[in-house]
Amino acid sequence: MLGEKGYATACIGKWHLGWDWDAIRRVRTSKGNSYLDFDWSKPVPGGPLDRGFDYYFGDDVINFPPYAWIEDNRLLRAPDCDLEMEETELAKEGNWETRPGPALKDWDFYKVLPTLTEKSVEYIRSRKGAAKPFFLYVPFPSPHAPIVPNDEFDGQSKAGPYGDYVVQTDDACGRILKALEEIGQAGNTIVIFSADNGAEKYAYARDEKYGHWSSAPFRGVKRDTYEGGHHVPFIIRWPGVTKPETVSGVLISQVDLMATFAALTGYALPDDAALDSHDFLPFLTGKTATAPRCSLVHNTNKDYAIRDGKWLLINAKSGYESGFNKEWEKRHGYSADDQAPVELYDMQADAEQKRNLAGTHPERVAELQALLKRLLEQGHSAPRLMNTANTSNVVAEEKNNKQGEKNDDKTY
């Protein structure tokens, strides 16, 4: 989309979204995926270039093979061994968690984040004086396992190696922002920082050892339908538009970025794209104080949770999917499970999700279950696809297109 609007586009980092490794496979050995099975000289389809990016540099994902650098759609060096990592070999925190498979003999997991950071800085510096604005997508491998902060960051967080890895990630962000300043584009660049899920279950041990709860103030970790499972950082720096050091409690999803960028650049999204994306540009620019979306659906293992305003419904007996930690609940003052068929929480008054109100607000439970049913049957939530909102959406789209015409030279 941004390429069609005149942007140079690059992805530097993790791309765990569909590399077609079978397309370069020669044979399949008894081991399943040996470095000898592939013709590494061939281009690999399914990467960022096939999704519209002009440039890519990365390594698929830090704990999956092949453990080698990829530039555009080819490996810079062919793997020359098969990595076999024992689970007993630990990173600085948690298990190593690497999958066996093709690798370079001299591959160093501790160099992944620094290398991607430097490549991102190099890309930004290369845009100095360029005629085109740019879109740079930097999916970091950190702080995903293996937890491998460089030694210089050890002990800086007082929350263990995971915390130190977060500090190193923050340092990487700082280096990228500094590069924007160096080329004179800091004031003309929208920067968005976010994450892909809540903390992994190692957070329980970290809370016990260091007194640091990564999901605070929420309950739950990755995979859980409690808020801590999927409520993530979302920071926007848009000079002249977003006010520094302000916090908003409105409900926003990462998928809303698609419709928002489309509105900003004057791009007409087709009806089969971004089916759950809500344009929150009017909210960011101060034209409206209302939330960009009224509901958000999240599911794991067929269990659903739905947010509508301040209300959160766990449409199951429990929101735990990653396991129940009795000691954590005791330490944080949670009462015993009431065995109710569903759970309802007022997130304004009870962000920790301690008081199940399903029994005292059955009408709210029924409303949220009906909304969940409607969204699932409908298959989308994008307001531009609602028949009842066609007229107002066209007007809003025209206004947003005018806003986009004024901001076509923005970078992201």
Tell me: the pLDDT tens digits for 38-73?
999 999 999 999 999 999 999 999 999 999 999 999
CA dihedral (99, 103, 105, 111) positive or negative: negative
- Residue 395: pLDDT above 60? no
C-alpha distance from residue 303 to each of 26, 99, 180, 312 (Å) = 41, 28, 43, 14
- Residue 205: pLDDT above 70? yes
- Give the number of C-alpha atoms closer than 13 A to the C-alpha of residue 57, restricted to the C-beta side: 14
Split at pLDDT 50, 70, 90, the class of 337 is confident
Which CATH number is 296-403's, of 3.20.20.100, 3.30.1120.10, 3.90.70.10, 3.40.50.150?
3.30.1120.10
Write out the two tokens for 254. Answer: 């990462």
Mean pLDDT rounded to a whole number for the chain: 89
Which H or E run includes 326? helix 326-331
Distance (Å, whole) CA 53 – CA 72: 9
Q: Output the pLDDT for position 84.
A: 83
- Residue 318: pLDDT above 80? yes
Domain coordinates in residue numbering, the chain: 8-293, 296-403
Segment 329-336 mean pLDDT: 95
pTM (whole model) above 0.75: yes
- Give the number of C-alpha atoms closer than 13 A to the C-alpha of residue 2, restricted to the C-beta side: 26
Q: Output the pLDDT for position 391.
A: 29
Q: Output the pLDDT for position 385.
A: 67
Residue count of the chain, please give it. 412
Question: 8-293 maps to which CATH number?
Answer: 3.40.720.10
Distance (Å, whole) CA 116 – CA 67: 14
Q: Would 8-293 and 296-403 be classified into the same CATH topology?
A: no
